[in-house]
Amino acid sequence: MEQDKLGIKPEFFEQLVSCDWFCNCGDKTFDQFEVYIEESREMAIARLNSLVRENACLEKENKLRNAMSEVPCGWNHVVKEVKQSGYIGKVSKRIKSGLKRKGILGEEELVTIRSDVLFLFLANYFSAYYTDTFYEQMLQIYLSGHLPCGYEWKKFRVY
């Protein structure tokens, strides 16, 4: 694996910082790919915090970890680098603002979304060597101003 192909792409970070987070939550239209539409904010929050969603994300995270187990600098080093880059903190400010605007104020939701963002950064970091439509679709949902609140039968649930 060539080390110079690894890294966070600047355009990826720009997409996340310029994203109007959650601006389309509650809008029942999403036409980029097939999804389930969540009808209510309350159900979206419940699904976001559900064990079903957590298990789906953990399964995908494990696949990414396993695929990158041979990274020369080591998985833990890369996670630490991404966390210390300041990128997630800058994006988190935008996330908090978008959640507040939509009345989604719980700390648990923020932790879940920050975890998603961390793994989106990691998937981007390793994108020259590993891709998964799960992360590509999750990114598109967030960038479209929606919330990926669930994942069932290989389709996201979107609010």
**Where along the chain do its domains lie?**
13-158
Residues 139 and 147: their CA atoms lie apart, in Å, by 10
The one-digit pLDDT tens for each residue of the chain (159 residues) are 444 456 888 899 999 999 999 999 999 999 999 999 999 999 999 999 999 999 999 999 999 998 887 777 777 888 888 888 888 899 999 999 999 999 887 899 999 999 999 999 999 988 888 899 999 999 999 999 999 999 998 999 999
Indicate the pTM of the whole model.
0.92
